[in-house]
Amino acid sequence: LRESCFGASSHSMKYFSTTVSEPSQGLPQFVAVGYVDGQVFVHYDSNSRRMKPRVSWIEKYVGKEDPQYWDRNTQIFRASEEVFRGNLEIARNRYNQSEGLHIIQRMYGCELRRDGSKGGFEQHGYEGRTFITFDKETLT
């Protein structure tokens, strides 16, 4: 991927995570998915509690270049899982929502554009509505 970032096309890496107040069969309480150029490449959820590859190229590359990648990123996402469970409880308490299904979401990522410029963003949502965003371009 590094070599192709300098070509004529743009590239992106994005992560999406979701925490639900009431997990159900088949729906973990926390899920995080990573995308490169729109393709899922990693997945973590509160059932497996492990970051796992979803494409063969990441396994091959990481195995050679960074053997500790999976353990390190598993620990990062375990910590994120705990933080977002706490954030969900804070939001539920603020909105006086002690019962029912509630969802907190996070999206963040970066991109290398065709012209060589770079961009990034972070966005948090509650119940499907954005409540805070960060735009790297405007620093707001």
Domain boundaries, the chain: 13-134
| Tens-digit pLDDT profile for residues 15-58 | 999 999 999 888 899 999 999 999 999 999 999 999 999 999 99
pLDDT value at residue 39: 96
Please enumerate, as own/partner, the contacts of 117-126 that have beta carbons within 8 Å and a separation of 24 or more: 126/91, 126/102
pLDDT at 9 over 60: yes
With helix as H, strand as E and coil as C, how does 46-59 read? Answer: CCCCCCEECCHHHH
**% the chain with pLDDT above 70:** 94
Q: Which helix (H) or strand (E) holds 16?
A: strand 11-20
- The SS3 call for residue 116 is coil
pTM (two decimals): 0.86
13-134 topology per CATH: 3.30.500
